[in-house]
Amino acid sequence: MVDLPAVGSHLTDHVVVTFAAEVHPDVAPEGAPTLQTILRLTASGSELAHDLQITPFVRRHPDGRRSLAMSVSLQRPDGEGSVTPSGSEPNDPAAIRWPFTCLPSNVARLRDGWRTALRIAAASGLLLRPVDMEEALAMEDAAVDTIIAETHTAFYHGVGTCRMGADGDHHVVDRHCRVFGVDGLRVVDASIIPVVPRSNTNLAVMAVAERFARLTTAS
């Protein structure tokens, strides 16, 4: 009904790579918290402060083993993706372009965060086989980049595909969450956030909802 070329464009997301190492079962008894801390840090040489997040958590295996896992998330990746139709029918699947690990700048920062996480794990004194961390830290850049390419995931924090802005050429909604060119239609969710924030997106989505509630009350 309305030609808004920005719909589905400008997708950004957090890129994650995770490793795990076995620890003594007493470190994480049944009933203990699985996740307690999050570390924010800046990749070496990065111009963006706090562009990495390391999240350590416990994996409890059915056979009683315990592992210390660490997810390393790139919070402000370079580049943009998109979500577009793959065909003309309503049930045709979406075509998702997610290019972030194709960019060397993103891979280099993830590699730096991955090695930092390994050093933290090695220094914890909790690992059953500290030599595993020593061997991993000795890996060449290309080997680490292969791990990133083969094991990375999204953090399911995608935003920007209906991003908020000043015009309907490059944005989908205005500052009142109204869709350009469509009367009575608003978008109030993560998709209107212009760029993925350096935090889990639930915080930003709550702020969006609070803002919309105030706008609705004011009107």
Provide the pLDDT for residue 102: 95
Provide the pLDDT for residue 168: 87
Measured CA distances, 162 to 16, 72, 189 (Å) = 23, 27, 9
pTM: 0.91
pLDDT digits (tens, 9 = 90+) for 168-185: 889 999 999 999 999 999
Classified as helix, coil or strand, 155 is coil
**Mean predicted lDDT score pLDDT of the chain:** 94
- On the question of pLDDT at 218 being above 80, the answer is no
- CA triple 101-22-16, angle to 5 deg: 15
pLDDT digits (tens, 9 = 90+) for 76-97: 999 999 999 999 898 999 999 9
Residue ranges of domains in the chain, CATH in brackets: 15-154 (3.30.560.10)
Nearest residue to 78 (alpha-carbon basis) of 112, 51, 105, 44: 105
Total number of residues shown for the chain: 219
pLDDT above 70 covers a percentage of the chain that reads 100
Provide the pLDDT for residue 30: 87
- Which pairs with CB-CB distance under 8 Å and at least 24 residues apart come from 163-167? 163/6, 163/10, 163/191, 163/192, 163/193, 163/194, 164/192, 164/193, 164/194, 165/194
Span 53-73, mean pLDDT?
95
